[in-house]
């Protein structure tokens, strides 16, 4: 059914605890949601951009602007558009992959709800639940970190990821290994905080049997990652560098990574994310599903994606209460370290109306 209109809506959600990474500390999320209304159904998408352009170049105000002035008008001008064609319709607009991904997911969700098809089935999921890892921020002290890690392990998370940066890397990793042992699945994420000159320092992580070191160098330093990978034993995983299936093929071919963190928002949507999954599978490269502190809307879609066969490492698909006291949707709750893949049509979740009204800070209806 043709799209009748699109609503842009921003919601404000406090985090249960500050989340510190190498590029800053977040205490609150300003989330842009996209709702697509067709004659047959309505679909929801979530833009993963943060308020500030510190993870990548996108930020919420910019996403709102590019959607209002460029992306939605192009979609309107294209007439009847299937979800499979959205990326092509939006392609003349350069970049803005997180904004595009939100729009594509909303169109896809509406389409799948109209046909009664779960997103997981549409994407090719083979599991009905996924193992969940958890991302642990940089903390004020090692004891505080060990307390947080112990809590998450008690909650059942099957893998621990530690945010690192120069000055907070070898010591916290050693402390976690000493406290929790060698069997805990453990990895680190630098969010581009190092340079190739830090190679010898990063090699000091090798004795700790980490699953991977995520995005140690700047996102545009693919050759640097290839050089680093030759100097350290820990497998290199890329996140910010992998902006498309082509970028994944290029990084793998150049030896820049042996594992990929797949984030649908970073690459322009769930359909491109599946293409990255397929490219990596073709190269024998394992993937896992990254996170951007999504509400239950993006979380539901990520869990569906994480159920594809090539997602062989636990992802950052944590329970809702990792970040939110009250999620926008019915909360995702960890069960034996796993989250169940939603079985309803589309993403299988919708915002809880009362919660949505309570947390909405801005909205605009764009008739098509």
Ligand X SMILES: CSCC[C@@H](NC(=O)CCC(=O)O)C(=O)O
Beta carbon nearer to ligand X, 265 or 345: 265
Residue nearest to ligand X according to CB distances in the complex = 291
Find all residues with CB under 8 Å of 242, minimum gap 6, and list them: 248, 251, 257, 260, 261, 262, 266, 267, 276
Shortest spacing between CB 280 and Mg ion, in angstroms: 16
Integer Cα distance of 313 and 237 in angstroms: 12
Please tell me what DSSP assigns to residue 125: -
CB of 238 to Mg ion, least distance (A): 9
* CB closer to ligand X, 315 vs 345: 315
**Which residues have a catalytic role annotated?**
163, 263
Q: Could you tell me which residues come within 8 angstroms of residue 141 by beta carbon, excluding any fewer than 6 positions away?
A: none
- Residue 302 contact partner, candidates Mg ion, ligand X, none, CB within 5 to 8 A by sort of partner: none
Of 14-22, 83-91, 103-111, 236-244: span binding Mg ion (CB under 5 A): 236-244
Among 104, 111, 239, 327, which residue sits at the site for Mg ion (rule: CB under 5 A)? Answer: 239
Of 169, 192, 247, 188, the closest CA to residue 56 belongs to: 192
| Contact partners, residue 354, CB within 8 Å, separation at least 6 | none
Smallest separation, CB 100 to Mg ion (Å): 20
Q: Give the torsion sign (CA, 113, 75, 47, 367).
A: negative
CB of 239 to Mg ion, least distance (A): 4
Choices 90-98, 193-201, 234-242, 279-287; region in contact with Mg ion by CB under 5 A: 234-242
Nearest by Cα to 238 from 262, 266, 260, 265: 260
- Is the Cβ of residue 290 or residue 296 nearer to ligand X in the bound state? 290
Least Å from the CB of residue 74 to ligand X: 27
103 or 292, CB closer to ligand X? 292
Name which of 247, 297, 245 is nearest 274 in CA terms.
Answer: 245
Output the residue with the shortest Cβ distance to Mg ion: 239
- Cβ atoms within 10 Å of 312's Cβ, excluding its own: 12
Residue number, 213 or 319, with CB nearest to Mg ion: 213
CB within 8 Å of 303: residues ≥ 6 apart = 120, 130, 289, 317, 332, 339, 340, 341, 342
CB under 5 to 8 A by kind: which of ligand X, Mg ion, none does 165 bind?
Answer: none
What is the nearest approach in angstroms of ligand X to the Cβ of residue 37?
28
Residue with Cβ nearer ligand X (50 or 119): 50
Q: How far is CA 7 from CA 93, 320, 345, 363, in A?
A: 20, 24, 21, 7
Q: Does 189 bind Mg ion (CB under 5 A)?
A: yes
Least separation in angstroms between CB 318 and ligand X: 5
Closest CB to ligand X among residues 86, 334: 334
> Which of ligand X, Mg ion, none does residue 145 bind (CB under 5 to 8 Å by kind)?
none
- Give the one entry of ligand X, Mg ion, none that residue 320 binds, where binding means its C-beta sits below a cut-off of 5 to 8 angstroms depending on kind: none
Contact of 81 with 1, CB cutoff 8 Å: no
What does the binding site for ligand X look like in residue numbers (CB under 6 A)? 21, 50, 55, 135, 189, 191, 239, 290-293, 316, 318
Residue 316 near Mg ion by CB under 5 A: no
Contact 63, 102 (CB under 8 A): yes
Touching Mg ion, residues 192-231 (CB under 5 A): 214
Residue 85 contacts residue 91 (beta carbons within 8 Å): no
Tell me which residue of 31, 2, 262 sits closest to 107, measured CA to CA. 2
With CB under 5 to 8 Å by kind, the binding choice for 187 among ligand X, Mg ion, none is none
Beta bridge partners of 35: 7, 44
Rounded alpha-carbon distances, angstroms, from residue 225 to 44, 200, 209, 215, 276 = 36, 13, 19, 8, 19
Query: What, of Mg ion, ligand X, none, does residue 135 touch, CB below 5 to 8 Å by kind?
Result: ligand X
The footprint of Mg ion (CB under 5 A) covers: 189, 214, 239
């Amino acid at each position: 059914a043709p799209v009748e209109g699109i609503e842009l809506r921003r919601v404000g959600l406090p985090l249960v605890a500050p989340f510190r990474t190498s590029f800053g500390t977040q205490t609150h999320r300003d989330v842009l949601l996209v709702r697509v209304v067709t004659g047959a159904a309505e679909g929801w998408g979530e833009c993963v951009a943060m308020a500030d352009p510190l993870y990548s170049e996108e930020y919420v105000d910019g996403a709102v602007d590019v959607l209002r002035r460029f992306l939605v008008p192009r979609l309107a001008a294209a007439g009847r558009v299937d979800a499979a064609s959205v990326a092509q319709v939006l392609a003349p607009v350069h970049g803005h992959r997180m904004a595009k991904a939100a729009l594509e997911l909303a169109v896809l969700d509406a389409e799948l709800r109209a046909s009664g098809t779960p997103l997981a089935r549409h994407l090719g999921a083979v599991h009905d639940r996924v193992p969940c890892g958890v991302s642990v921020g940089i903390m004020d002290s090692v004891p505080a970190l060990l307390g947080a890690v112990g809590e998450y392990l008690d909650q059942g998370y099957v893998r621990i990821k530690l945010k690192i940066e120069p000055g907070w890397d070898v010591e916290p990793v050693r402390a976690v290994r000493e406290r929790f042992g060698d069997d805990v699945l453990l990895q680190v994420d630098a969010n581009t905080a190092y340079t190739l000159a830090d190679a010898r320092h990063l090699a000091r992580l090798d004795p700790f049997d980490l699953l991977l070191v995520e995005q140690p160098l700047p996102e545009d330093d693919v050759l640097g990652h290839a050089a680093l990978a030759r100097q350290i034993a820990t497998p290199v995983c890329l996140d910010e560098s992998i902006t498309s299936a082509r970028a994944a093929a290029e990084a793998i071919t150049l030896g820049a990574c042996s594992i990929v963190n797949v984030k649908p928002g970073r690459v322009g949507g769930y359909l491109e994310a599946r293409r990255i999954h397929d490219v990596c599978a073709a190269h024998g490269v394992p993937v896992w599903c990254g996170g951007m502190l999504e509400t239950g809307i993006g979380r539901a879609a990520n869990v569906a994606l994480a159920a594809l066969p090539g997602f062989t490492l636990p992802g950052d698909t944590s329970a809702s209460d990792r970040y939110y006291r009250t999620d926008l949707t019915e909360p995702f709750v960890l069960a034996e370290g796993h989250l169940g893949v939603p079985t309803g049509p589309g993403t299988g979740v919708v915002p809880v109306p009362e919660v949505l009204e309570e947390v909405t800070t801005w909205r605009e209806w764009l008739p098509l």
